[in-house]
Amino acid sequence: MTNRKIQYWVILPDADAEFVAAMEEVLDTYEKPYAPDHPVLCMDEQPVQLIKETRPPIPATKRHARRIDYEYERAGTASIFMFTEPLAGWREATARASKTKVDWAVEVARLMEGRYRKCSTVTLVCDNLNTHTIGAFYEAFPPARARAIVRRLHFCHTPKHGSWLNIAENELSSLTRQCVSGRRFGILAKLQSEIAAWSTDANTNQRGVDWQMKINDARRKLKSLYPKIKV
Protein backbone atom coordinates (compact mmCIF):
# COMPACT_ATOMS: atom_id res chain seq x y z
CA MET A 1 0.00 0.00 0.00
CA THR A 2 1.41 3.40 -0.95
CA ASN A 3 1.23 6.41 1.31
CA ARG A 4 -1.08 9.10 0.04
CA LYS A 5 -1.31 12.64 1.29
CA ILE A 6 -4.72 14.17 1.91
CA GLN A 7 -5.49 17.86 1.86
CA TYR A 8 -8.63 19.16 3.51
CA TRP A 9 -10.10 21.83 1.28
CA VAL A 10 -13.23 23.89 0.74
CA ILE A 11 -14.73 22.13 -2.27
CA LEU A 12 -17.05 24.59 -3.97
CA PRO A 13 -20.32 23.43 -5.53
CA ASP A 14 -20.95 23.51 -9.27
CA ALA A 15 -23.77 25.58 -10.75
CA ASP A 16 -25.38 26.39 -7.41
CA ALA A 17 -27.77 29.32 -7.63
CA GLU A 18 -28.35 29.54 -3.87
CA PHE A 19 -24.60 29.66 -3.22
CA VAL A 20 -23.91 32.46 -5.70
CA ALA A 21 -26.95 34.44 -4.53
CA ALA A 22 -25.69 34.41 -0.94
CA MET A 23 -22.10 35.03 -2.05
CA GLU A 24 -23.04 38.09 -4.10
CA GLU A 25 -25.11 39.44 -1.21
CA VAL A 26 -22.03 39.27 1.02
CA LEU A 27 -19.73 40.77 -1.61
CA ASP A 28 -22.20 43.56 -2.32
CA THR A 29 -22.33 44.30 1.40
CA TYR A 30 -18.53 44.58 1.55
CA GLU A 31 -18.51 47.07 -1.36
CA LYS A 32 -20.72 49.60 0.43
CA PRO A 33 -18.98 52.70 1.79
CA TYR A 34 -18.52 53.18 5.52
CA ALA A 35 -21.66 54.45 7.23
CA PRO A 36 -21.30 55.17 10.98
CA ASP A 37 -25.06 54.92 11.47
CA HIS A 38 -25.27 51.60 9.61
CA PRO A 39 -22.01 49.67 10.18
CA VAL A 40 -21.19 46.21 8.83
CA LEU A 41 -20.27 43.77 11.60
CA CYS A 42 -18.89 40.29 10.92
CA MET A 43 -18.90 37.46 13.45
CA ASP A 44 -17.56 33.92 13.69
CA GLU A 45 -16.95 31.40 16.46
CA GLN A 46 -14.85 28.34 17.21
CA PRO A 47 -14.56 25.76 20.01
CA VAL A 48 -11.46 25.52 22.21
CA GLN A 49 -10.33 22.63 24.41
CA LEU A 50 -9.47 23.77 27.94
CA ILE A 51 -6.39 21.96 29.25
CA LYS A 52 -4.88 21.95 32.75
CA GLU A 53 -1.26 21.21 33.61
CA THR A 54 -0.64 18.09 35.72
CA ARG A 55 2.78 19.36 36.86
CA PRO A 56 4.07 22.93 37.30
CA PRO A 57 6.03 24.09 34.20
CA ILE A 58 9.74 24.79 34.56
CA PRO A 59 10.54 28.47 33.81
CA ALA A 60 12.82 29.31 30.89
CA THR A 61 16.50 30.01 31.51
CA LYS A 62 19.41 31.15 29.36
CA ARG A 63 20.10 27.49 28.59
CA HIS A 64 16.64 26.17 27.78
CA ALA A 65 13.12 27.22 26.84
CA ARG A 66 10.16 26.97 29.19
CA ARG A 67 9.46 23.31 29.80
CA ILE A 68 5.95 21.87 30.00
CA ASP A 69 5.19 18.27 30.90
CA TYR A 70 3.68 16.26 28.06
CA GLU A 71 0.85 15.06 30.32
CA TYR A 72 -2.25 17.21 30.70
CA GLU A 73 -5.77 17.11 32.06
CA ARG A 74 -8.81 17.93 29.97
CA ALA A 75 -10.90 20.64 31.60
CA GLY A 76 -13.88 20.88 29.28
CA THR A 77 -14.39 23.17 26.32
CA ALA A 78 -15.13 26.81 25.61
CA SER A 79 -16.26 28.79 22.59
CA ILE A 80 -14.55 31.88 21.22
CA PHE A 81 -16.77 34.54 19.63
CA MET A 82 -15.06 36.88 17.19
CA PHE A 83 -16.62 40.17 16.12
CA THR A 84 -15.01 42.56 13.66
CA GLU A 85 -16.06 45.77 11.95
CA PRO A 86 -13.77 45.73 8.89
CA LEU A 87 -14.11 49.35 7.74
CA ALA A 88 -13.51 50.66 11.26
CA GLY A 89 -10.42 48.49 11.80
CA TRP A 90 -11.98 47.09 14.99
CA ARG A 91 -12.21 43.55 16.34
CA GLU A 92 -13.11 41.93 19.65
CA ALA A 93 -12.79 38.34 20.84
CA THR A 94 -14.72 36.96 23.81
CA ALA A 95 -15.17 33.45 25.19
CA ARG A 96 -18.03 31.59 26.82
CA ALA A 97 -18.44 28.13 28.32
CA SER A 98 -20.81 27.07 25.52
CA LYS A 99 -22.09 28.13 22.08
CA THR A 100 -25.86 27.83 22.35
CA LYS A 101 -28.46 30.15 20.85
CA VAL A 102 -28.59 32.04 24.13
CA ASP A 103 -24.79 32.45 24.25
CA TRP A 104 -24.83 33.89 20.73
CA ALA A 105 -27.79 36.18 21.46
CA VAL A 106 -26.16 37.53 24.63
CA GLU A 107 -22.93 38.33 22.78
CA VAL A 108 -24.70 40.11 19.93
CA ALA A 109 -27.01 41.98 22.34
CA ARG A 110 -23.99 43.20 24.33
CA LEU A 111 -22.70 44.98 21.22
CA MET A 112 -26.08 46.17 19.98
CA GLU A 113 -26.79 47.76 23.36
CA GLY A 114 -23.21 48.90 23.89
CA ARG A 115 -20.88 49.85 21.03
CA TYR A 116 -23.76 50.11 18.52
CA ARG A 117 -26.52 51.45 20.76
CA LYS A 118 -26.83 54.69 18.73
CA CYS A 119 -26.82 53.01 15.30
CA SER A 120 -30.14 52.86 13.48
CA THR A 121 -29.22 49.56 11.77
CA VAL A 122 -26.35 47.07 11.96
CA THR A 123 -25.67 44.58 9.16
CA LEU A 124 -24.46 41.33 10.70
CA VAL A 125 -22.47 38.99 8.44
CA CYS A 126 -22.42 35.49 9.89
CA ASP A 127 -22.61 31.80 9.03
CA ASN A 128 -26.05 30.35 8.42
CA LEU A 129 -26.07 28.19 11.56
CA ASN A 130 -29.15 27.09 13.51
CA THR A 131 -27.93 29.18 16.47
CA HIS A 132 -27.80 32.41 14.46
CA THR A 133 -31.51 33.16 14.37
CA ILE A 134 -33.92 35.93 15.29
CA GLY A 135 -35.66 33.51 17.64
CA ALA A 136 -32.46 33.20 19.70
CA PHE A 137 -33.06 36.67 21.12
CA TYR A 138 -36.54 35.66 22.27
CA GLU A 139 -35.04 32.67 24.09
CA ALA A 140 -32.57 34.95 25.86
CA PHE A 141 -34.60 38.07 26.62
CA PRO A 142 -38.14 39.33 27.30
CA PRO A 143 -40.10 40.05 24.06
CA ALA A 144 -39.77 43.86 24.25
CA ARG A 145 -35.99 43.74 24.62
CA ALA A 146 -35.63 41.04 21.97
CA ARG A 147 -37.70 43.01 19.48
CA ALA A 148 -35.75 46.21 20.15
CA ILE A 149 -32.54 44.40 19.19
CA VAL A 150 -33.95 42.52 16.20
CA ARG A 151 -35.53 45.66 14.76
CA ARG A 152 -32.07 47.18 14.24
CA LEU A 153 -30.38 44.03 12.89
CA HIS A 154 -30.02 43.16 9.22
CA PHE A 155 -28.72 39.62 8.64
CA CYS A 156 -26.38 38.77 5.77
CA HIS A 157 -25.62 35.03 5.83
CA THR A 158 -22.63 33.47 4.09
CA PRO A 159 -23.53 30.49 1.86
CA LYS A 160 -23.14 26.91 3.04
CA HIS A 161 -19.50 25.87 2.52
CA GLY A 162 -18.74 29.54 1.95
CA SER A 163 -17.54 30.63 5.39
CA TRP A 164 -14.33 31.88 3.72
CA LEU A 165 -16.42 34.89 2.68
CA ASN A 166 -16.72 35.94 6.32
CA ILE A 167 -14.01 38.45 7.26
CA ALA A 168 -14.41 37.45 10.91
CA GLU A 169 -13.06 34.02 9.98
CA ASN A 170 -9.80 35.67 8.89
CA GLU A 171 -9.56 37.56 12.19
CA LEU A 172 -10.30 34.35 14.08
CA SER A 173 -7.51 32.60 12.19
CA SER A 174 -5.08 35.36 13.20
CA LEU A 175 -6.17 35.10 16.83
CA THR A 176 -5.67 31.33 16.78
CA ARG A 177 -2.16 31.56 15.32
CA GLN A 178 -0.97 34.49 17.45
CA CYS A 179 -2.61 33.79 20.80
CA VAL A 180 -4.25 30.38 21.20
CA SER A 181 -2.42 27.74 19.16
CA GLY A 182 0.15 25.70 21.11
CA ARG A 183 -0.92 27.08 24.49
CA ARG A 184 -2.79 25.49 27.37
CA PHE A 185 -5.66 27.29 29.05
CA GLY A 186 -6.86 25.50 32.16
CA ILE A 187 -9.76 27.80 33.00
CA LEU A 188 -12.18 29.94 31.02
CA ALA A 189 -11.15 33.15 32.82
CA LYS A 190 -7.54 32.78 31.62
CA LEU A 191 -8.65 32.29 28.02
CA GLN A 192 -10.94 35.33 28.28
CA SER A 193 -8.14 37.47 29.66
CA GLU A 194 -5.64 36.46 26.96
CA ILE A 195 -7.93 36.96 23.98
CA ALA A 196 -9.12 40.29 25.38
CA ALA A 197 -5.49 41.42 25.53
CA TRP A 198 -5.01 40.21 21.94
CA SER A 199 -8.04 42.25 20.84
CA THR A 200 -6.69 45.40 22.46
CA ASP A 201 -3.25 44.93 20.92
CA ALA A 202 -4.70 44.16 17.47
CA ASN A 203 -6.90 47.26 17.52
CA THR A 204 -3.94 49.40 18.55
CA ASN A 205 -1.44 48.11 16.00
CA GLN A 206 -3.39 46.78 13.02
CA ARG A 207 -5.16 48.68 10.28
CA GLY A 208 -8.55 47.96 8.77
CA VAL A 209 -9.27 45.07 6.44
CA ASP A 210 -8.52 45.55 2.74
CA TRP A 211 -11.01 43.16 1.14
CA GLN A 212 -10.15 42.80 -2.56
CA MET A 213 -12.72 40.39 -3.99
CA LYS A 214 -15.62 42.10 -5.79
CA ILE A 215 -18.74 40.71 -7.45
CA ASN A 216 -17.22 41.09 -10.94
CA ASP A 217 -14.15 39.17 -9.75
CA ALA A 218 -16.37 36.32 -8.53
CA ARG A 219 -18.27 36.20 -11.83
CA ARG A 220 -15.02 36.02 -13.76
CA LYS A 221 -12.93 33.71 -11.56
CA LEU A 222 -15.64 31.44 -10.17
CA LYS A 223 -17.65 30.77 -13.33
CA SER A 224 -18.31 27.14 -12.40
CA LEU A 225 -20.39 28.28 -9.44
CA TYR A 226 -22.91 30.03 -11.67
CA PRO A 227 -25.75 28.04 -13.26
CA LYS A 228 -26.06 28.00 -17.02
CA ILE A 229 -29.05 30.09 -18.04
CA LYS A 230 -31.66 27.98 -19.84
CA VAL A 231 -34.03 30.22 -21.82
Give the model confidence (pLDDT) of 137-192 as tens digits.
999 999 999 999 999 999 999 998 888 999 999 999 999 999 999 888 999 999 99
Pick the range with the lowest mean pLDDT from 24-33, 55-64, 74-83, 96-105: 55-64
pLDDT value of position 61: 86
Nearest CA to 188 out of 29, 93, 78, 68 is that of: 78
Q: How confident is the model at residue 11 (pLDDT cuts 50, 70, 90)?
A: low
Alpha carbon 76 to chain centroid distance? 21
Percentage of the chain lying above the pLDDT 70 cut? 94
Q: How confident is the model at residue 10 (pLDDT cuts 50, 70, 90)?
A: low
pLDDT value of position 118: 96
Q: What's the rounded mean pLDDT across residues 73-97?
A: 93
CA gap 81, 46 in Å, rounded = 7
Would you give the DSSP letter of residue 70?
A: S
Q: Spell 136-159 as b/e; 16+ CB within 10 A means b.
A: bbbebbeeeebeebbebbeebbbb
Instruction: Please provide the average confidence, as pLDDT, over all residues in the chain.
Output: 90
Q: How far is CA 169 from CA 13, 56, 81, 154, 189, in A?
A: 20, 34, 10, 19, 23
Would you give the DSSP letter of residue 179?
A: I
With a CB cutoff of 8 Å and minimum separation 6, the contacts of 97 are 76, 78, 79, 188
Percentage of the chain lying above the pLDDT 90 cut? 71
